[in-house]
Amino acid sequence: MRLAIATAALAAFGLASIGSAAAEYPERPVRVIVPSPAGGSTDVGTRILADAIEAHLGQRWVIENRPGAGLLIGMQALADAEPDGYTLGYTHQPFLTVHIYVNEADFTFDSFEPVALLVDDPNTVAVRVDSPFESLEDLIAAMRERPGEITFGDTGYLSDDHLVTVAIERAFGVEANAVHYDGSAPLRAAVLGGHVDVYVGNVGDTKVTYDEGQFRVLAVATEERIDAFPNTPTFRELGVDLVASSARGVSFPAGTPTAYADRMAEAIAAASQDEDYLRRMAEQGLAVRVLTREEYGAFQAQRMEFVRGLLEALGEL
């Protein structure tokens, strides 16, 4: 009887300790791994959120850029981190799916504890403002007349932008000449320099050049028209059910206490309602879309299936 009482007391003490730690979390700054270079749209958006979240979390975010290998280095660093609630990081789609199924990464979906989707940055198709293609219909007609000749620039092989090119080929029955660049800056320079016909990117990377009057945006891969390009039709308006994006969410390493993940998700949701945060993100053309932990997990599963279909079309699976 005494042993049973002692065991029960120890168990209760352990639960109380965990509950107390959760209540006090976080007790120090949280490292946030950004798997892309400083200055890119993901990095900029993270820093804007970092400015807003301290008031809601009680601690600051310390951003650590770990770029390389198509975001693989940063996501691997996250998967390998201690699950103590003090290392948060990005689990981008479609890169997460690509690395798991094509590049045979040392992590799986189960290596991460989803926290929240932050930004759903839609894909766009744009051309130089003096391009002969004044609409997507013009572009598709030219592709049918000259199969494989029209060049489509993207931010890397199997990037979300490249996969949109594949989706366009499948949807319209056309063939593009895909040209891969290491990021949006060299891609933008190539299009503006006349070396590539078509720019496939994200709203966050397209908006500045559009606002400068140098890009004509032909279509957006969204469910409805967006404020950044109010006169640009969606693919759905043009008869193709294509909704695609760079979906940027954050996760903890698997094994992180649920209470810590819940606390972080709550702070992110609260910070994402701040007027200054929303204004600054809108100025960058970044579409804030916060999902709960459960919603984000379901979103990841749905996006995985979409990406798998495109990878199969490329013969990668």
pLDDT of residue 5: 52
pLDDT of amino acid 189 = 96
Dihedral class, residue 256 (left if φ above 0, else alpha if ψ from -120 to 50, else beta): beta
Closest listed residue to residue 55, CA positions, set 268, 287, 281, 290: 268
- How high is the pLDDT of residue 104? 86
- Nearest residue to 51 (alpha-carbon basis) of 283, 269, 260, 274: 274
Dihedral Cα 118, 294, 299, 93, nearest 10 deg: 50
Task: Return d(Cα 134, Cα 132) in angstroms, integer.
Answer: 6
Residue 302: its H or E element: helix 293-313
Q: How far apart are CA 201 and CA 223, in angstroms?
A: 17
What stretch(es) of the chain map to CATH 3.40.190.10?
Answer: 122-220
Q: Which of 97, 81, 101, 98 is nearest to 89 (CA)?
A: 81
**CATH number assigned to the domain with residue range 29-121+245-313, chosen from the 4 options 2.130.10.10, 3.40.190.150, 3.30.390.30, 3.30.470.20:** 3.40.190.150
93-113: per-residue pLDDT in tens?
A: 999 999 999 988 999 999 999
Residue intervals in the chain for CATH 3.40.190.150 = 29-121+245-313
pLDDT at residue 16, rounded to an integer: 47
pLDDT at residue 21, as a whole number: 57
Q: What is the pLDDT of residue 3?
A: 46
Task: Provide the token pair at 33.
Answer: 């791994």
Intervals of the chain under pLDDT 50: 3, 6, 9-10, 15-17
* pLDDT score for 37: 85
pLDDT digits over 290-316, tens only?
998 999 989 998 899 989 989 998 899
Q: What is the pLDDT of residue 59?
A: 98
Q: What is the pTM of this model?
A: 0.80
Around 285, how many Cα atoms within 13 Å sit in the side-chain half-sphere?
21
Backbone torsion region of residue 304, taken as left when φ is above 0, otherwise alpha when ψ lies between -120 and 50, otherwise beta = alpha
- Residue 135, class by beta-carbon neighbours within 10 Å (0-12 exposed, 13-18 middle, 19+ buried)? middle
Q: Report the alpha-carbon angle 258-261-266, nearest 5.
A: 125
Residue 243 tokens, joined: 């909704």
CATH code for the domain defined by 122-220: 3.40.190.10
pLDDT (0 to 100) of residue 235: 97
